[in-house]
Amino acid sequence: MCGLRVTVEQGRVAGIRGNPDDAWSQGHLCPKGTTLGHLHDDPDRLRVPLVRTANGTFREVSWTEAYEEVERVLRPVLDQHGAGAMTVYVGNPVAHNLGLASYIGALVGMAGAAGMQAYYSPGTVDQWPLNVVSTLVFGGMWNAPIPDLDRTDHLVILGANPAVSQGSMLSAPDVTGRLTAITRRGGRVVVVDPRRTETAARASEWVPIRPGTDALLLFALLRTLAEEGLVSRPAHLDGRVLGLDEAIALAEPFSPERVSAATGIDAATIRRLAIDLASAGNPVLYSRIGVCTQEFGTLATWLVFVVNVALGAVDRLGGALFPKPAVSSPMFMKPPDQTGAGWEFGRFRSRVSGAPEVLSQFPLGCLAEEIDTPGEGRISALISVAGNPVISAPGARRLDEALPQLDAMICIDNWLNETTRHAHVILPGLSPLERAHADDLYWMYAIASCIKWSEPLFASASDRPGEWELLLRIAGAALGTPVPDVDVTAMDDLYVQGLLATVCATEGTPLTGRDAGAAFTALAGRGPERLVDLGIRLGPWGDDLGSRPGGLTLEEVRRHPDGLRLADLEEGRLTDAVSTPSGCIELIHPHIVSDIPRLAARMERESQPLLLTSRRQLRSNNSWMHNVPTLMRGRDRCTLLVHPADAGALGLADAEMATVETDAGSVDVLVKITAEMMPGVVSLPHGWGHGLPGTRLGVANAHPGINSNLLNPVNVLDVPSNTHVVNGVPCRIRPGVTR
């Protein structure tokens, strides 16, 4: 999202800096942004399709040959078992790649129409609790208020490390600078985390917490606010919130004294945290992945919003505000009926372990068993789009062993890595500098309403398809056309016509009641450009496809290469932003509150002596930027962080190896002893574990690290959202190596 100024000399990137004139980022840049030249030039990056040969190696082929090979492996699966035997894995970069983000919905939607059941994504190792809570409480799965960083005077951050991640489901350039500004203007930043993170180190206060117990802390905060008469009931929320009193009543069993042992936070601190919040002028809570990917992810995420409501902070400047994106994401995940009678979960179940579907997905950890368990309905074809689940999925080893059992594995990916080495065909996309770029989903979490469009910097070989075309080609194949024969242009038209028909038939859109055919002819171009144009024109500043003259279009946005800044965060957006059946913020749902007994039982349970957690790193991006040499300088950073007291008790030495073991597996890893961990909790970065045979990642393979998901179990889940627990996994550690 940050604007770049790229210097090109003799056709090569000579340097990348933040663009000081960028309407959004005003010159800010994180280390990931500086790497696009390296990604472009990486000799390991795939530029032509690869096909696996009989002896297991890969052969470079023409695009025609690649399509024929996809047809050869995929068609028998579809003919014999139907599209129900196929699934799609939607990897993280899909959300950051214009072509993929614009058309992944076409693939998943059309394959679904052909009979595909659930699909998979890292969502269930990430933000699914947030999606569940957003759907039920605010009425849309990507609908949630974000902290008003620039006006709050008391920010409590739980389970997020924005100094490293740059903000997650919270888009803000220079987020670290903005956090520092809070304390500089006399406010407070409190970080609740088992680790004194890079963010905590800059904060006013670090509150260490036992992993998986944030919901207990938050209930205790809510109860204290109620007990002290500090619940705020501001006029702007009057009649706009349902269920606050019920939520407060549910907090009754969770007194600070009772949650203290489980959370590891003493009761006096919990009471003081509650009173600090209530005494602040503009308090707000923000939570992210450490709170989602834990035992009570949904309840904890829900309670963050409940407490924000109880503080009167929602939809108030300085509190939690609903962004107003200039373009709404056309991503497919939007529930078809989100403004109707509500949303249902568990409409169908997974074949092997019977996991209920949540927002059309099964837990990612189910994928392996759906492939390697024989029987009717087995998954035998996988389309993996910009994902590396062999590294990112809990139960990683079983998945690594299951993928070779697929009859058809097609990867749309730019590298031959731990996952794609199992593919029958790898179809590479263009480099980030060869394709146009615009963001969409993340404007929905942004601290300002901006819009930008970037043209490709470099031309690509003339025969290279965009990734969006690959998605449509496979969608066409799922619907019955041989892969080489799919008419991508016709598919694109069909998709856009379908979208327009829906928008015209839906109440309350800018096109309600208009003729879908006429709307279609008002649009020019093709592919992602046409979809972005549509999104802008139907957005809050748009020209409504001609009926609001002077309104924004892509053509106008293109005249502003530094982007357009349209508005700052505003309050008073409840009517526009909340789309629940009642139109109110709905705090109480059986799907969420039925999990409270499980949480209450947690208070009675002894804590395990050692719990494993995950962390991110500034110069990594999940698993896939480790092939960039400039990001890999310096010492091995795939280390197990251990508190000195634990290291002493376990006999571990700094910079020496140790074996970590869980019920799921064991790995040998380098130890780093540091008081930044709370005692009883250790931390491993995720995204490592390179060096596997058959991969083509020269730089990454020289610094392999270990895969923390060899340790994370598949069957330990946050119940309401089906999200994997990768924070708070009981483990055992001993010095030395196993082998």
Ligand X SMILES: Nc1nc2c(c(=O)[nH]1)N[C@H]1C(S)=C(S)[C@@H](COP(=O)(O)OP(=O)(O)OC[C@H]3O[C@@H](n4cnc5c(=O)[nH]c(N)nc54)[C@H](O)[C@@H]3O)O[C@H]1N2
Binding partner of 614, given ligand X, Mo ion, none, CB within 5-8 angstroms per partner class = ligand X
Nearer to Mo ion, 49 or 363 (CB): 363
Least distance to ligand X from the beta carbon of 258, Å? Answer: 19
Least distance to Mo ion from the beta carbon of 707, Å? Answer: 16
DSSP alpha helices (H): ranges in 559-715?
574-577, 590-593, 596-604, 644-650, 698-701
Nearer to ligand X, 195 or 422 (CB): 195
Nearer to ligand X, 465 or 535 (CB): 465
Long-range contacts of 518-522 (CB under 8 A, 24+ apart): 519/545, 520/493, 520/496, 522/546
* 439 Cα distance to chain centroid: 14
- Measure the CA–CA gap between 93 and 625, rounded to whole angstroms: 11
Nearer to ligand X, 31 or 115 (CB): 31
374: number of Cβ within 10 Å: 6
- Strand partners for 684: 614
Least distance to Mo ion from the beta carbon of 165, Å? Answer: 9
Least distance to ligand X from the beta carbon of 457, Å? Answer: 14
For residue 394, give every residue at least 6 positions away whose Cβ sits within 8 Å of its Cβ, in sequence order, or none.
125, 364, 365, 664, 709, 712, 713, 714, 724, 726
291 and 162 in contact (C-beta within 8 Å)?
no
Binding partner of 580, given ligand X, Mo ion, none, CB within 5-8 angstroms per partner class = none
Nearer to Mo ion, 96 or 421 (CB): 96
Binding partner of 611, given ligand X, Mo ion, none, CB within 5-8 angstroms per partner class = none
Binding partner of 716, given Mo ion, ligand X, none, CB within 5-8 angstroms per partner class = none
Residue in the structure block whose two tokens are 């060869």: 434
Least distance to ligand X from the beta carbon of 92, Å? Answer: 3
Binding partner of 415, given Mo ion, ligand X, none, CB within 5-8 angstroms per partner class = ligand X
Least distance to Mo ion from the beta carbon of 304, Å? Answer: 18
- Measure the CA–CA gap between 472 and 492, rounded to whole angstroms: 7
Least distance to Mo ion from the beta carbon of 709, Å? Answer: 13
* 165 Cα distance to chain centroid: 12
Nearer to ligand X, 325 or 465 (CB): 465
Closest CB to Mo ion belongs to which residue?
126
- Point out which residues bind ligand X (CB under 6 A): 32, 91-93, 97, 122, 125-126, 158-162, 164-166, 168, 192-195, 197, 209, 211-212, 214, 288-291, 294, 386-389, 392, 412-415, 417, 419, 429, 467, 613-618, 620-624, 683, 686-687, 708-709, 712, 726-728
Binding partner of 449, given ligand X, Mo ion, none, CB within 5-8 angstroms per partner class = none
Least distance to ligand X from the beta carbon of 708, Å? Answer: 5
Task: Give ∠ CA 347-508-96 in degrees, rounded to 5.
Answer: 65
Nearer to ligand X, 289 or 557 (CB): 289
572: number of Cβ within 10 Å: 13
What CA dihedral angle connects 640, 644, 649 and 655, to 10 degrees?
A: 50
Nearer to ligand X, 352 or 725 (CB): 725
Least distance to ligand X from the beta carbon of 401, Å? Answer: 17
Quote the strand ranges of 441-548, DSSP E.
448-451
Binding partner of 139, given ligand X, Mo ion, none, CB within 5-8 angstroms per partner class = none
DSSP alpha helices (H): ranges in 404-487?
467-478
Binding partner of 534, given Mo ion, ligand X, none, CB within 5-8 angstroms per partner class = none
Biggest alpha carbon–alpha carbon distance for the chain? 74
Nearer to ligand X, 91 or 283 (CB): 91
Least distance to ligand X from the beta carbon of 319, Å? Answer: 20
Binding partner of 712, given Mo ion, ligand X, none, CB within 5-8 angstroms per partner class = ligand X
Nearer to Mo ion, 96 or 195 (CB): 96
For residue 679, give every residue at least 6 positions away whose Cβ sits within 8 Å of its Cβ, in sequence order, or none.
643, 645, 646
Q: What is the DSSP string of 287-336?
A: E-HHHHSSTTHHHHHHHHHHHHHHTT-BTSTTSEE----SS----TTS-T
- Point out which residues bind Mo ion (CB under 5 A): 126
Q: What is the DSSP string of 145-159?
A: -EE-TTT-SEEEEES
Percent of residues in the chain assigned helix, strand, coil, to nearest 5: 35, 15, 45
Least distance to ligand X from the beta carbon of 355, Å? Answer: 18
Least distance to Mo ion from the beta carbon of 501, Å? Answer: 33
Closest CB to ligand X belongs to which residue?
290
Nearer to ligand X, 125 or 307 (CB): 125
696 and 416 in contact (C-beta within 8 Å)?
yes
Binding partner of 680, given Mo ion, ligand X, none, CB within 5-8 angstroms per partner class = none
Binding partner of 124, given ligand X, Mo ion, none, CB within 5-8 angstroms per partner class = none
Is residue 184 packed enough to be buried (19+ CB in 10 Å), middle (13-18) or exposed (0-12)?
A: exposed
Binding partner of 117, given ligand X, Mo ion, none, CB within 5-8 angstroms per partner class = none
150 and 321 in contact (C-beta within 8 Å)?
no
Nearer to Mo ion, 69 or 126 (CB): 126
